[in-house]
A and B are shown apart, each in its own frame.
Chain A
């Protein structure tokens, strides 16, 4: 890896620690085994690598995890046996399951019975179903089925030191790729060429995968000039096209990629060619004020509602984030994990969500002045025992 965070990382230890946490939670909830189908959960449970692909391909070539309470290792069903972690015993690495068809679900039931039949202590938790699975599996297995989704969400919330090191490396690679794009920014480039520079740099720096069609959106100066939206707020993030960049364009970025599948979610604001106007610099300064106030407040025991209140106070009583997103969100194996602070989950959620050491939080306020555009950037912090560690480190020039 070209980008270095200076921290140490032990992937085997990370997988071991995650498995131990899953085991604790399975026992606590009386879940005998968890059958996991969604990308993030399968990776969390197994650490198995795949060929990163469009979802449509993944549906047909899935990795699936089965974590059995009391078992020292997870079971992995995979079309990519080479991607299984080295410590996984051969009797825990299985040919892929194919729950796209009724016959594949029957096969799934048979193989679950081979591994669990007569020994399952508790329910079988499942995080997601294909349609044939949802309609067929309950009749085919003698187990009580429960929801494993919330179990995984809870376990994934608090990161180990190794997970945090993966987040650091992921963020560093992503920022470096953003910087490579910003350095190339000039009138006449296409948005899609920015994507090209970004993706090339990502892989050259050691990214494991890219999770999102990178967003390089030319922002309007006024919301009425933007696309129509369901809530009247500013449409962001739109799909990148081959639009040609012009002098003075304000570009907001949103890029999500993985290092060892740990996501980074870098968002920056750039100006093409020209210098920012004094009004744009003022919007940046306000954004910085809000962001610093929120990050200064992040420590164990603080609720999401306190963060939203601090952000609103720092913005003279106006909510500084988009109506369809949030002030802050969690980060881990996926770009957007809980908590979504300030989202439509509502005030009760924000009040009930209390920060704890080991949480990774992306803070992403927005400032906007219709007629002048606005400023948006994302900063990553990790909650420590006494406060937080800021991981993002992207220069705010030329707005400073």
Chain B
């Protein structure tokens, strides 16, 4: 088991001893977790659209797209057969345990999807069919695919399966974090007066590909933090720009930088705030104070990352610091991209449901402290919840604003 953790040590060269993530074991354990949750939720089959769900049950490396499109059935899991069926016109990127006859081609014609689903062994017999979304177009076609099925929330099944990470999944996440931090470190070094914010995205993305990763988890935020509330803004919410554009960063500004990458589908993300220093300039006490305030919140959040605590404890801990909630989510699960639970910040969502924190969950924690006339500090860390102390996955230094 300990060998699953060695991924980062040997680098990327070919290794005869297989001392890396055991991807075959990872896929097997994930599918087992999915089938177990299907049984627990009394779901006979899953018809899935979301790429993270399809990747979880199949390990398929399909073409990544950054747009949310309407529901199409791109992956099917049948509990009785234990088989995964996938929309893929070819077997490139498809793990060997998924036989070619389980693949169906990309299509523009919904009738061809229906025919492909009708050919899936066992799907027509499903009584309870889980879906992770639905479109009007496909809801009309489901009776032809599973005539006796009642539809249920398949995302709930997948959420339960995906919440707890196996040791191999944690190995992937640690690797993703190392890559994200590597790309971020170089990007932070590129901050100087006059550099357009968008060039920082460019720098992050190119450095990311040096590690063989071609897909970001998010294009991210590389934005100077506002020093005043914009006109018409809600004064109760700390101002933060998250959307990058051509604006050059200026001397004296604090630049909020937060981005992530996907390694084998798994997200690693990190957020730091760096001062844009002109020639001979140094950071101010006011800027350092913002760093300290944000870290008080991050420490308070991390202190709640124990088995037995809940998402409500996270929000309560953040509030107890006296800092206003940030204009971004306080925390969210991390795995194959962003996962539940989501703990909303000042913009919500604030939902009555409390979700328990359990060992094996990975969370991204976010804090933002803001001071008029100074700017803001955005910090983002990733932690894994264990049986004992939480494991801090991010370790990139906090730079010129940190006191030590």
**Do B105 and A39 have beta carbons less than 8 Å apart?**
no
Task: Return the contact of B67 from the options A200, A211, A213, A241 (Cβ within 8 A).
Answer: A211
Chain A residue numbers with a CB within 8 Å of B66 are 52-55, 209-212
**Do A240 and B342 have beta carbons less than 8 Å apart?**
no
Instruction: For chain B, residues 105 to 141, give those with C-beta under 8 angstroms from any C-beta of chain A.
Output: 105-109, 112, 130-137, 139
Query: Which listed segment binds B: A12-20, A230-238, A356-364?
Result: A230-238
Alpha-carbon gap, A201 to B351, bound state (A): 42
A346 at the interface (CB under 8 A from B): yes
Chain A residue numbers with a CB within 8 Å of B353 are 101, 103
Alpha-carbon gap, A346 to B107, bound state (A): 11
Interface range on chain B: under 10, 10 to 19, 20 to 34, or 35 or more? Answer: 35 or more
A398 at the interface (CB under 8 A from B): no
Across the interface, name the chain B residue whose C-beta is closest to A210.
Answer: B66
Task: Return the contact of B241 from the options A82, A95, A134, A237 (Cβ within 8 A).
Answer: A82
Instruction: For chain A, residues 167 to 194, give those with C-beta under 8 angstroms from any C-beta of chain B.
Output: 190, 192-193
Query: Which listed segment binds B: A121-129, A273-281, A367-375, A383-391?
Result: A121-129
Chain A residue numbers with a CB within 8 Å of B136 are 126, 146-147, 149
Nearest CB on A from B182, distance (A): 13
**Do A213 and B218 have beta carbons less than 8 Å apart?**
no
**Do B212 and A190 have beta carbons less than 8 Å apart?**
yes
Across the interface, name the chain A residue whose C-beta is closest to B209.
Answer: A196
Nearest CB on A from B9, distance (A): 19
Across the interface, name the chain B residue whose C-beta is closest to A216.
Answer: B214
Chain A residue numbers with a CB within 8 Å of B51 are 55-56
Alpha-carbon gap, A239 to B65, bound state (A): 11
Instruction: For chain A, residues 122 to 145, give those with C-beta under 8 angstroms from any C-beta of chain B.
Output: 126-132, 134-135
**Do B133 and A230 have beta carbons less than 8 Å apart?**
no
Chain A residue numbers with a CB within 8 Å of B185 are none
**Among B90, B212, B347, residue most surrounded by chain A Cβ atoms (within 10 Å):** B90
**Do B348 and A60 have beta carbons less than 8 Å apart?**
no
Across the interface, name the chain A residue whose C-beta is closest to B197.
Answer: A203
Instruction: For chain B, residues 190 to 237, give those with C-beta under 8 angstroms from any C-beta of chain A.
Output: 198-199, 201-203, 205-210, 212-221, 230, 232
Question: What is the interface size of chain A, counting residues whose CB is below 8 A from a CB of the partner?
Answer: 87
Task: Return the contact of A193 from the options B107, B131, B209 (Cβ within 8 A).
Answer: B209
Query: Which listed segment binds B: A3-11, A264-272, A294-302, A337-345?
Result: A337-345
**Do B62 and A239 have beta carbons less than 8 Å apart?**
yes
Task: Return the contact of A239 from the options B61, B151, B205 (Cβ within 8 A).
Answer: B61
**Do B202 and A200 have beta carbons less than 8 Å apart?**
yes
Across the interface, name the chain A residue whose C-beta is closest to B349.
Answer: A98
Alpha-carbon gap, A273 to B199, bound state (A): 30
Task: Return the contact of A82 from the options B154, B203, B218, B243 (Cβ within 8 A).
Answer: B243
Task: Return the contact of A40 from the options B67, B105, B202 (Cβ within 8 A).
Answer: B67
Query: Which listed segment binds A: B75-83, B329-337, B376-384?
Result: B329-337
**Do B91 and A228 have beta carbons less than 8 Å apart?**
yes
Task: Return the contact of B220 from the options A51, A96, A135 (Cβ within 8 A).
Answer: A51
Alpha-carbon gap, A201 to B205, bound state (A): 10
Q: With A56-B52, A129-B133, A211-B66 given, is the CB distance from A227 to B90 under 8 Å?
A: yes
**Do B133 and A344 have beta carbons less than 8 Å apart?**
no
Alpha-carbon gap, A396 to B366, bound state (A): 49
B71 at the interface (CB under 8 A from A): yes
Alpha-carbon gap, A127 to B108, bound state (A): 17
Across the interface, name the chain A residue whose C-beta is closest to B60.
Answer: A239
Across the interface, name the chain A residue whose C-beta is closest to B340.
Answer: A100
Alpha-carbon gap, A249 to B103, bound state (A): 29
Chain B residue numbers with a CB within 8 Å of A394 are none
Across the interface, name the chain B residue whose C-beta is closest to A229.
Answer: B90
**Among B67, B106, B202, B203, residue most surrounded by chain A Cβ atoms (within 10 Å):** B67
Alpha-carbon gap, A190 to B12, bound state (A): 14
Task: Return the contact of A203 from the options B104, B201, B344, B352 (Cβ within 8 A).
Answer: B201
B282 at the interface (CB under 8 A from A): no
Across the interface, name the chain A residue whose C-beta is closest to B328.
Answer: A79
Nearest CB on A from B116, distance (A): 9
**Do B92 and A227 have beta carbons less than 8 Å apart?**
yes
B338 at the interface (CB under 8 A from A): yes
Across the interface, name the chain B residue whose C-beta is closest to A338.
Answer: B108
**Do B214 and A192 have beta carbons less than 8 Å apart?**
yes
Nearest CB on A from B325, distance (A): 12
Chain B residue numbers with a CB within 8 Å of A241 are 212
Nearest CB on A from B53, distance (A): 9
Nearest CB on B from A161, distance (A): 24
A160 at the interface (CB under 8 A from B): no
Nearest CB on A from B222, distance (A): 10
Instruction: For chain A, residues 320 to 369, give those with C-beta under 8 angstroms from any C-beta of chain B.
Output: 324, 326, 334, 340, 343-346
Chain A residue numbers with a CB within 8 Å of B338 are 54, 56-57, 59-61
Chain B residue numbers with a CB within 8 Å of A129 are 71, 133-135
Alpha-carbon gap, A153 to B132, bound state (A): 23
Instruction: For chain B, residues 33 to 74, give those with C-beta under 8 angstroms from any C-beta of chain A.
Output: 50-52, 61-71
B153 at the interface (CB under 8 A from A): yes
A83 at the interface (CB under 8 A from B): yes
Alpha-carbon gap, A231 to B112, bound state (A): 13
**Do A199 and B202 have beta carbons less than 8 Å apart?**
yes
A154 at the interface (CB under 8 A from B): no
Chain A residue numbers with a CB within 8 Å of B210 are 193, 196
A214 at the interface (CB under 8 A from B): yes
Instruction: For chain A, residues 4 to 44, give those with C-beta under 8 angstroms from any C-beta of chain B.
Output: 37-40
**Do B105 and A230 have beta carbons less than 8 Å apart?**
yes
Q: With A80-B243, A90-B232, A228-B90 given, is the CB distance from A54 to B134 under 8 Å?
A: no
Nearest CB on B from A93, distance (A): 10
**Do B133 and A51 have beta carbons less than 8 Å apart?**
no
Instruction: For chain B, residues 328 to 376, give those with C-beta under 8 angstroms from any C-beta of chain A.
Output: 328-329, 332, 336-340, 342, 344, 347-349, 351-353
Across the interface, name the chain B residue whose C-beta is closest to A233.
Answer: B89
**Do B68 and A59 have beta carbons less than 8 Å apart?**
yes
The interface of chain A, by Cβ under 8 A from chain B, is: 1, 37-40, 49-62, 79-83, 90, 95-98, 100-101, 103-104, 107, 126-132, 134-135, 146-147, 149, 190, 192-193, 195-197, 199-204, 206, 209-215, 226-231, 235, 237-242, 324, 326, 334, 340, 343-346
User: What are 25 A-B interface contacts by the 8 Å CB criterion?
Assistant: A1-B246, A49-B243, A51-B242, A53-B219, A54-B218, A56-B50, A79-B329, A103-B352, A103-B353, A104-B351, A128-B133, A131-B153, A134-B139, A193-B209, A195-B209, A200-B203, A209-B66, A211-B67, A227-B90, A230-B105, A238-B92, A238-B93, A239-B92, A240-B214, A242-B212
The 9 closest A-B pairs by CB, nearest first: A56-B337, A147-B136, A196-B209, A235-B90, A203-B202, A227-B92, A53-B218, A98-B349, A242-B212
